[in-house]
Chain A
Amino acid sequence: MSDGASLGYTGDQNLFRSLPMGIFRLSAKGAWELIAELTPSESHGEAIELSQNVSCTLGNACLITDANPSACALLRIENPATIAMAPVASVFPEDTLRLFADGLYRLFQGQKAIAYDGSLTIAGGGEHQVAFNLWQGESDVSPDDVYLSFWSISERISLEQTKDGLQSDLARSARISLLGEMTASIAHEVNQPLGTIVASAEAGLRWLSRDEPDIAEVQQLLERIAKNGKRAAGVITTMRALASNKKSERLPADINSVVEEAILLLRTDLAKRQITLRLDLSSNLPSVKADKTQILQVIVNLALNAAQAMSDGHAWNRTLCIRTRRGIADVAVEVEDSGPGIDAHVRERLFESFFSTKETGIGMGLAICRSIIEAHGSQIELQSTPHLGARFSFALPAEQVQTDG
């Protein structure tokens, strides 16, 4: 098969040999017959569910009739003869085989070119991550020929992973510095229930040591102790979530409970700044698919910024409003303040890294908030009215989107 002339190639043969991407020519004759058999005529145009077995059978029915030098190099095949007439299934791991079978099926249905990402099995072990293109030979000349081209995307993927890793490290370091800003507030939030616990316990001892111990009073005190122990633990859990460096993951989350956790950390800070908090949380919201820790970080960050804007701007009326609302296919979160608003020239640069209007700020907070929300496929929007306040909002896609029919 290394003999080009025997392949019926003439003009394109040089190109086939010299392309820097790997190309297989496959004979799909057996596969076409199989698909025709499997597809009931009435289901034309609709995707069939390709089972593991069907994918395997289709992969085995496609034979490699030629491979260019780039393909051999990528797969570390020293002697091209070893894969001549081999079923293409032999070079695919299971999941990619399924993608390939799906591609074949779509070619059969008349789609012109198929592209997908997957992996190839390297001779002697290991896998290569590659991008595939799949197309059919000209229908009047060689309809049974299918071409499969591929090139390595390992580098691109490792770059993406590095970028994701950096982004998540950056988000985490911002969370840590956020926690640092709130140390006093968090300590107070833990101290408050501790104060209640200690006072209740001591009161209880006094009631018990009376001549006629008051059991009902002591029972109430004990209940209060238990409740406040849990309250302190809740603050610690939320704080630990912010400090955690677990990998970013998207899970169904209840946005209202994320807002409530944020409040747990912010309450004292708001009180210290004489800010009234208004919560306007819609009930019966669908859950959203999100990294809960990162969304918590965004809400805390936006609220803290709003609080600082109001107290630094010496606003007379200080109200922070956090709102959640249901959209058509998403859930919106709004953080609104009654501060001085944001100047137009500041607004332009607001989300830039290392831009800060605060003396002690490093200017990463909002930049990271924006990248987090963008990574969730959304955007942070800002509305600002001079002297009346600013409103930051973002929407997260709802988990269960209702579809018609």
Chain B
Amino acid sequence: MNMNSTPIVHVIDDDLDLRLSLDSLLRSVGLKTVLHETVPDFAVFTTSDGPRCALVDVRLPGFSGLDFQDQLIMSEKSIPLIFMTGFGDIPMTVRAMKAGAVDFLPKPFRDQDLLDAVSRALEIDRQKRSRELEVSSLRARYEELSVREKEVMTLVASGFMNKQIAGRLSLSEVTVKIHRGSAMRKMNARTLADLIKMSEALKLNEK
């Protein structure tokens, strides 16, 4: 994954002329665009490397902008959404914002408002992506651990003392310390706090 790829803005509106004007506006500030007349397949969003966001008309015929948002949330393939609304779409707007839309723009909107919202959305996606990148490298390192090291790391992160872990795993306390030390080294954790944070990011937890 390349964090320096050109950001891509997906424009989803059934009105061709509006789509083309937004396309021109976004290209004028050097952004890449992909235009859609109707809600696109999710695959479209997983192929790009750089940060992305989508400008969606709240009132698309057939599969609406809100339906699209619901589906994104369900599929956990989130992408920051900016809603464009026409006249009298207040209830829809409220629903969209509650469900986590970055912003909504009542038509006709100022170009600066649009570009601000887009850069905010792209920033959100960039941060989210860097977090995801971090987690995936953590996950890769975690997979390098031996079974015992994984067990010890999980129990340490869950707040057990060495002595308790030794009891649970039927090991000597010294052996636990060795596993723990090598897990910290392999995970690149300098302190116990680091290791605990990593475990949280990896969602390791011993019930």
Contact residues of A with B, CB < 8 Å?
A: 184, 187-188, 191-200, 202-204, 206-207, 210, 217, 220-221, 224, 227-228, 268, 270-272, 274-276
Contact = CB atoms under 8 A, between A and B. Distances in A.
Given A194-B108, A195-B18, A187 B87 contact: yes
Contacts of A220: 20, 24
B111 A196 contact: no
A206 B107 CA distance: 19
Contact of B17 (A217, A227, A271, A272): A227
B contact residues, range: 20 to 34
B129 interface: no
Interface in B45-73: 59-62, 64
Given A184-B87, A187-B88, A195 B24 contact: no
B9 to A, nearest CB: 13
Which of A191, A203, A274, A276 gathers most chain B CB within 10 Å?
A203
Nearest to B63: A274
Given A192-B86, A198-B108, 13 more contacts: A188-B86, A195-B107, A196-B17, A200-B17, A200-B21, A203-B111, A206-B29, A207-B28, A220-B24, A221-B21, A268-B59, A270-B61, A274-B62
A73 to B, nearest CB: 65
Contacts of A207: 24, 28
A347 B110 CA distance: 50
B97 interface: no
Contact of A268 (B17, B29, B86, B108): B86
Contacts, number: 87
Interface of B: 14-15, 17-18, 20-22, 24-25, 28-29, 59-62, 64, 84, 86-88, 107-111, 114
A276 B62 CA distance: 7
B28 A272 contact: no
B25 A203 contact: yes
Contacts of B111: 198-199, 202-203, 206
A191 B62 contact: no
